[in-house]
Amino acid sequence: MTITVFEAGAARSFDRREQAADGKVFISARISIHNSAAQVPAQGPDALVLELSDGTVGRPWIVTPGSRLRDTGPGPGEEFDGWRSWEVPEGTRAATLSYRPLPGVEIRFGFTLSDEVRERWQVTSDLRHV
């Protein structure tokens, strides 16, 4: 498996229905997964976990437009990308993405976000911000 994060950012809302709770923001990441294995990987909320520096994890936000990544991965030799979102405490700027595509396999990497928290992500065919 290969996982690439192309873009990540924080926002307070996706639209009028999808607002972060008080004291929280959404972190959204555009992720590409390439499958070089013979099995179909997992990529649901238990497979893509956002770990925070205090030892807690971000709450997966599956129903938002920012969560367009399917729960099962691409077939052998295939690749696709999509979005995954988590609700985290406001002020979160660093996190570790733990990807567990298959039993016994874990890919981990950390990233730091800019200080910018967007008021809203505007979602069309891909996730754009305003």
Please list the rounded mean pLDDT of every run of 10 residues in the chain (130 residues). Answer: 86 80 90 90 90 94 62 87 88 92 91 83 47
- CA 21 to chain centroid, in Å, comes to 18
- Predicted confidence at residue 92, as pLDDT, reads 92
* Spatial distance between the Cα atoms of 52 and 103, rounded to a whole number of angstroms: 23
Joined tokens for residue 47: 């497979």
- Judged by DSSP in three states, 60 sits in strand
| pTM of the predicted structure, to 2 decimals | 0.83
Residue of 31, 17, 7, 28 lying closest to 87 (CA atoms): 28
